[in-house]
Amino acid sequence: MTTEKLADPKPSDEVMGQGTNTAYCQTTPLYVDGNESASSALKSLAEEAKLATKDVKAPSNSVLTICKSLLAGGVAGGVSRSAVAPLERLKILLQVQNAYNPKYSGMVQGLRSIWATEGLAGFFKGNGTNCARIIPNSAVKFYSYEQASKSLLWFYRQQTGQEDAELSPLLRLGAGACAGIIAMSATYPMDMVRGRLTVQTADSPYRYKGMVHAFKTIIKEEGPRAVYKGWLPSVIGVVPYVGLNFAVYETLKDWIVKDPQFETAQESELGVVTKLLCGAAAGTVGQTVAYPLDVVRRRMQMVGWKDASPVITADGKVKAPAQYTGMIDAFRQTVRNEGFLALYKGLLPNSVKVVPSIALAFVTYEVMRDLLGVEIRISD
């Protein structure tokens, strides 16, 4: 009687948790026969389960993994922004300069003017503050995207019952928007200060001697809320900008990987050049949609600045810089006084800047994660 009970596959089914594995258990070399004891049967099944799952590694959420992910995102932000710092500064100067006495008429003339009046250092004015902002911003943004995409995918699977569902472009857009809002809000005061420092030129009164001095001066003269001037259009703009960046980048990569021609090439993953092109496309789409909000944000950041840069005051010879009561008023005054195209001032240098910037950010992030040995990439 004892051997008959041991030969009965029922206990094995209970241990495995699946009644459909009976035939498999009976044919496996580790399957117990009637001469073995019950403890031997359990041991054999445990060894079988271990062999079947030895290559499966659960993702780690340890502090070390989180730190590695944040570090990768921070390096990506610092590298990408420093590489295009001259174009970033020129873009902001074009966005906020007084329309009645403009100092910069275009990308080439603007770069030449900066070089002639301020030298090489002029191209990187405000970049230190920008890196101090963008490193934590980028770190939080990439990490937030990973967490948001996982959460949204889990919620989608729970609601639809599709356990094998994958991230769709819409889910990626939502995850990117969440990441952008979190990262931007966390580091916005530094962005506001960076905008003020960037606008100062060689003939400015140099009200701000650095990031810390700028913070103290702005809070003292304009109040603590001043460091969040332009925050609303930034929140609205970051949704399509960051959301589209992630959505377009990840979707393009997904399409290429699933393309039959890529599969026949027997490549394990996309090359750096392909990733750069995907990142460039993502940056182009995102910045074109969100650019008018970026112009309004910059202009609102300059409101209330005592002894502002001559770029804004036009040397005091013509009309004073516009004062805005809010985002809608800034839009209305800009279009009324300068025309609709004023919402796209600085778009050319920004387009030249954003393509390599976004591309470098994505590629640097993935390379850093590979070097640091982080288990899951953003695509996962």
Backbone angles phi, psi at 235, to 5 degrees: -65, -45
Region of poorest pLDDT, from 24-28, 172-176, 200-204, 359-363: 24-28
Q: In this structure, what is the dihedral angle of CA atoms 262, 263, 267, 270, given to the nearest 10 degrees?
A: 50
pLDDT at 198: 86
Q: What does the pLDDT look like over 252-289, one tens digit per residue? A: 888 888 777 765 555 556 777 887 788 878 878 888 88
C-alpha–C-alpha distance, residues 29 and 20, integer Å: 18
Q: What does the pLDDT look like over 309-335, one tens digit per residue? A: 888 887 766 666 678 888 999 999 999
Tokens of 44: 């054999």
pLDDT at 109: 93
Q: Which CATH number fits domain 39-45+61-372: 1.10.10.10, 1.50.40.10, 3.90.25.10, 2.60.40.10?
A: 1.50.40.10
pLDDT at 6: 45
pLDDT at 104 over 50: yes
pLDDT at 380: 43
| Backbone torsion region of residue 346, taken as left when φ is above 0, otherwise alpha when ψ lies between -120 and 50, otherwise beta | left
| Residue the block writes with tokens 């009200």 | 207
What's the Cα-to-Cα distance from 152 to each of 149, 179, 238, rounded to whole Å? 5, 12, 19
Q: Are 287 and 355 in contact (CB under 8 A)?
A: no
SS (H, E, C) the chain: CHHHHHHCCHHHHHHHCCHHHHHHHHHCCCCCCCCCCHHHHHHHHHHHHHHHCCCCCCCCCCHHHHHHHHHHHHHHHHHHHHHCHHHHHHHHHHHHCCCCCCCCCCHHHHHHHHHHHHCHHHHCCCHHHHHHHHHHHHHHHHHHHHHHHHHHHHHHHHHHCCCCCCCCHHHHHHHHHHHHHHHHHHHHHHHHHHHHHHHCCCCCCCCCCCHHHHHHHHHHHHCHHHHHCCHHHHHHHHHHHHHHHHHHHHHHHHHHHHCHHHHHCCCCCCCHHHHHHHHHHHHHHHHHHHHHHHHHHHHHHHCCCCCCCHHHHHHHCCCCCCCCCCHHHHHHHHHHHHCHHHHHCCHHHHHHHHHHHHHHHHHHHHHHHHHHCCCCCCCC
Its pTM stands at 0.60
Average pLDDT over residues 183-206: 84
